[in-house]
Amino acid sequence: MRDRIEKALDKVRPMLAADGGNVELVEVTSDGIVKLRLKGSCGCCPMSSMTLKMGIEKILRQEVPEIKEVIAL
């Protein structure tokens, strides 16, 4: 599952990079929780929680339906 998540994140990274940010996959738990770290300008952006839930999580759940939740560290 981790490889599929990384491939899905590769689709998101160009959008984040356009604003000077990136995302790092930290952990995938056995119960389907994906833990990410937003980096660069995305890490301190006030809209980062919306980017995470409405953008990244939406795409990840479409690509990897087993995912239950995406959280930022």
Q: Degrees (nearest 5) of the Cα angle 23, 53, 12?
A: 40
Of the pLDDT bands very low, low, confident and very high (cuts 50, 70, 90), residue 46 is confident
Q: Parse the chain into domains and list their residue ranges.
A: 2-72
Please indicate, yes or no, whether the overall pTM of this predicted structure exceeds 0.85. yes
What's the confidence (pLDDT) of residue 51? 86
CA separation for the pair 40, 31 (Å, rounded): 29
Contact 72, 50 (CB under 8 A): no
Mean pLDDT of the chain: 92
When the candidates are 3.20.20.70, 3.30.300.130, 3.30.70.141, 3.20.20.370, the CATH number that belongs to 2-72 is 3.30.300.130
CA separation for the pair 13, 18 (Å, rounded): 9
Tokens, residue 25 = 């996959």
